[in-house]
Structure 1
Amino acid sequence: MTLETIDREAITTAITRDGITACKGAFSVEWADAMREDILAAFEEASAREHGAVGRGPNRYYVEIHPEQLRGFVDIVMHPWFRAVSESILGPDWTVVELGFDIPFAGAMNQPWHRDFPAPVETYRDHRLTSLAFNLTAVDTAEDMGPFEIAPGTQYESGLDWKHQMFPDREEWSRFESLAQRKYPQRGDISARSALTIHRGTANQSEKSRPVLVVGVDAPGAGHDALHDTAVTKGYWAGLPEEVRQHLTARVVDTLTPITQKHDIEGLVMGEA
């Protein structure tokens, strides 16, 4: 797979129509297993300190990390499909503004239908997407593990009358359920979606956790970098390929400090009533 051989028209059609697309087998199973090791190590560290692991519902947590905490970070940003999607949807000056992971453990409940932040006018009025969320599963997803559920085509709804402009009223849930598609990614797969497409995590009825890496990417001016605090050390920054540095929004520091998360989605804390 190269940048030149990727079908960008198919990518653009899928994301602008459905709000989501995917690439099967982008990475090896062994690569995904190493990613899981890094995620679990970061979760152990984050859960031991205040505001390290943020609740996204019962037995479900989100943790932001720095690029140096993930051995495969450069592999992701350099991957031809990742770059082709980012450029096709967001333009040539796209930037990575967020790196984190979501873990629903055993007993995680259905989340309420939601989007991850209010829709900008460019999206609901002009149908132009200004950000993307890439997801990489750390396990092979099965039906009982609380798979991700999405309502395709809902990324352009304004949501101006929803709670926090993110949470549709319960009376509207049946509409999203009628559109809903469950996703069952396997280790090595990567997906890209608009975080404005209405979605939810479903109940994890297994005894396993389902860690998923999240990489947030912005078009110029989207502004989500203000919600995050990605940093890299001077040595790590110097060793990054130029193709990564030019697409990474991060503070360059002498020593990394743990991230205190700024983007807390309050409406997810209790899960579905």
Structure 2
Amino acid sequence: MGAPVGGADQQPGQGGGDRLGQRRHQRHHPHPRTPSCARRGRSCRTRRSGSAPAPAGTPEHLPAREARSRPDGAVGRGPERWYVEIHPEQLRGFVDLVTHPWVVAVCRAVLGPDYEIVELGFDIPFPGAAMQPWHRDFPMPEDTRRQRRLTSLAFNLTTVDTVEEMGPFEIAPGTQWDDGRDFDHEMFPPKERYPRYERRAVRKYPRRGDISARSALTIHRGTPNVSSLARPVLVLGVDAPGAGNAGHHDMAVTRGYWASLPELVRAHLPCPVVDTLVPIRQKHTIEGLVMGAE
């Protein structure tokens, strides 16, 4: 977790303005401001008061087990590693999260005032999860390649206090600008470049209540979970207008839930309003992650 929002080539810890985990904005700050790290396209993380949201009434890893029992309910991200999408009203605290002043400020600063919430799910490395290959989550958009403009963000919230044995998220800061046209599927860099990513690599050890924002273009990987515990991470995906990632997801809300939402949420939630929710059939598979690293 804790990947950079933008193009910081500096390793966290080498400069006060680039240290992830040092830029923290309390949930109830009376005058929330756009973090300077977001304006510069640098690394950002925040500490929330309270713990990360969880699906009402269930531990965070149970949705994955239920989802794996139905077609396209869960997608594999490697051995013992699953991704499960949910609808907003299935998450206790969804409104608190998407109206958090820091989340709103970062979305506006990076993606513009008309940003769109398009994805909500859990990435869950279970005990036995293997090392992933270095990768980005999708090919670089042309707007990013030509204009160095990010068109999407992923916010991550851990549901456990992360320790080394759980297989922390590992990221190579600054690599969101790597062109990637010669990557396998434009997502998986050749192995001869691994030493560069390993020199830049930073492992993240967030605690419950932390939020991180990153570009999914930044080269990253999951590391082996050798503990006896799952490490669920909530993922909130947000697009700039026209980015197109909503087509990979089927998020919806019921009419009653939609009517209960504040305008700040409805203005940024371009999903169908339905009478009854149906389980999400997932579309965003990443074939290169299924077997783990060789």
Aligned partners of 1:125, 1:242: CA distance in 2, in Å? Answer: 34
Give the C-alpha shift of residue 117 in structure 1. 0.3
Q: What percent identity do the matched residue pairs reach?
A: 60
Matched, 1:258 2:285: no
Give the C-alpha shift of residue 3 in structure 1. 7.5
Aligned counterpart, 2:50? 28
* Contact kept in structure 1, 2:168 and 2:222, CA below 8 Å: yes
**Runs of 4+ more than 3 Å apart:** 1-5, 31-38
Matched, 1:130 2:151: yes
- Deviations 1:148-206, CA, capped at 9 Å, x for gaps: 00000001111001011000011111110110000000000000000000000101111
Aligned counterpart, 1:8? 35
Aligned counterpart, 1:93? 114
Q: Partner amino acid for 1:22?
A: R
Q: Partner amino acid for 2:274?
A: V
Give the secondary-structure state (helix, strand or coil) at the position aligned to 1:45: helix
Aligned counterpart, 1:243? 264
Counterpart among 42, 53, 60 of residue 39 in structure 1: 60
Aligned partners of 1:34, 1:247: CA distance in 2, in Å? Answer: 21
For normalisation by structure 1, the TM-score amounts to 0.93
Give the C-alpha shift of residue 45 in structure 1. 2.4
Mapping of residues 117-196 of structure 1, within 5 Å: 117-196=138-217
Aligned residue pairs, count: 267
Matched, 1:271 2:292: yes
Q: Considering only aligned residues, what root-mean-square deviation do their CA atoms show, in Å?
A: 1.6
Aligned partners of 1:212, 1:173: CA distance in 2, in Å? Answer: 25
Aligned partners of 2:216, 2:31: CA distance in 1, in Å? Answer: 27
- Runs of at least 5 residues in structure 2 that lack an aligned partner in the other structure: 1-27
Gap change, CA 1:61 and 1:6, over 3 Å in 2: same
Aligned counterpart, 2:137? 116
Aligned partners of 2:54, 2:279: CA distance in 1, in Å? Answer: 24
Aligned partners of 2:122, 2:109: CA distance in 1, in Å? Answer: 25
Aligned partners of 1:94, 1:33: CA distance in 2, in Å? Answer: 24
Q: Report which of the two has the higher share of helix.
A: 1
Aligned counterpart, 2:3? none
* Contact kept in structure 1, 2:120 and 2:235, CA below 8 Å: yes
Aligned partners of 1:260, 1:147: CA distance in 2, in Å? Answer: 27
Aligned partners of 2:49, 2:135: CA distance in 1, in Å? Answer: 29
Give the C-alpha shift of residue 230 in structure 1. 0.6
